[in-house]
Structures are given as C-alpha cells and as structure tokens.
Amino acid sequence: MLLNSYTKEFVRLACGSAAQPADLIAHLNQDISEVIPYLNAVLGGFQYTKEPRSVSLKLHGKLVVIHPRKICVNAPSDESDGEKIIDWLQEKINDTWERRGEIEPCFESAPKPKMLEILRLLPKTNCGECGQPTCMVFASHVAEGGKDPDDCPSLDAERKTQLAGYLGQFESDQANSSQSANKGRSLSKPLPEVLWPSQKQNQC
C-alpha cells in the first residue's frame, strides 16, 4: 500500500462568501510522486506537470489536483462528500500502484479545449450576466473546466448545443483513456456521486 493515511483541511478563499463551499486539501502522510504518471494514464488527467509532479483531473466540472504530498478538491458540497472523494482517490492510488507493472505511465497532458474556439461560439457582448467581466474571461474558465455552456445566460440554444458538442469530445477522449487503462478492473467503492452532478466550479 502506497498511501496509508492523510489529514484533511477545508479552506475558503478570502474573497469567497460564507455560502460558497470550501475547498478540501488532503495532506498526505506518504509521498505518492512515483504513482502520479500512472494515475495520469488511468484517470485521464487533463493537465500533467513534470516538475514538480502533479496531475489535474476534470470530473464533470469538478477540479481535483493530485500532488506528491497533497490532494486538492475544488468546493465539495460538504465535508462528508469531500471525504468520500478523497477515500475513493486513496483506493485508486493504491490500486494503481499495485498494478503499475501493467500500466504504461503517461507524462503528457491530454488535449484541452481552445479558448478561441469557445469564444467564437459565445455572444461576445461582454454583458457580465455570467459573473465574469468579459466573454474572453468566461471562455478561459470554460477551457479550464470551471464553467460550462449553461453558465452563459445569453447563449442561444443552437450555440449552446454546438459548444457542448465541442467540449464533449475532450471529455470523451478522457473517458476512453481511463476506461482503456481500467479494462477488467473494478474498485470496491464506485466513484462517489458527488463528483458528477455539479457542472460548476466556484471561481474567485
């Protein structure tokens, strides 16, 4: 077993309101740097950093960043849900480490949506209804997984469908990569449902 234990900390950004969920940081009691390239292959990370090692995962709008000695989860709905996410990741880390001989590590980032392609489909009125100062800023958040087409009130149905289709191809690539690496495997705990319903990520 690579990761035996962790301690948790909930952190709320200074500019965030009390109503916003806090981010969860799990401080790991063991160094997991060696397994991170394997996790990138298995979980389909969208951003991989070689030095210092880290992998970022987009799970239907929820951002999770895995570092050698900590895991950061963006705004879980409550403490219990945050703990379920970390527990699932702990099991996934240990399962991946045990199977590392069967997995080809990946040291590259997955293809990401292009901000200009997203901006092309937006109204470009800079109305601010989405909570961002400009459509370009909103597009950058969409590209990073923090916003989605439903967060733009001015986006008509046709362009919303086009934008969802464009973004969906990147989620499909990630899912296919993960499914291929996990073929024939199952964990005792399924991926916690809290990761999947929310398409939004709090931005400060």
What's the rounded Cα separation, in Å, for the pair 5 and 1? 10
Say which CATH topology domain 115-177 has. 3-methyladenine DNA Glycosylase II; Chain A, domain 3 (1.10.15)
CATH number of 6-109: 3.30.310
Please check whether residue 37 is in contact with residue 105, taking contact to mean a CB–CB distance below 8 angstroms. yes
Q: Answer with the residue of higher pLDDT: 163 or 175.
A: 163
pLDDT, position 126: 96
Domain ranges for the chain: 6-109, 115-177
Q: Which residues of 50-75 are buried (b: 16+ CB within 10 A; e: fewer)?
A: eeebbbbbbbebbbbbbbeebbbbbb
Record the pTM.
0.64
Phi then psi for residue 135, to 5 deg, are -65, -30
Q: Determine the pLDDT at residue 89.
A: 93
5 pLDDT more than 70: yes
Q: Between 73 and 123, name the one with better pLDDT.
A: 123
Is residue 18 predicted with pLDDT exceeding 70? no
Burial of 45 (0-12, 13-18, 19+ CB in 10 A): buried
Q: Which residues of 160-181 are buried (b: 16+ CB within 10 A; e: fewer)?
A: eeebeebbeebbeebeebbeeb
Q: What token pair was written down for 167?
A: 């973004």
Which tens digits make up the pLDDT trace of 21-64?
Answer: 678 899 999 999 999 999 999 988 878 999 999 999 876 556 89
Residue 104 confidence class, pLDDT cut points 50, 70, 90: very high
How crowded is residue 7: how many other Cβ atoms within 10 Å of its Cβ? 10
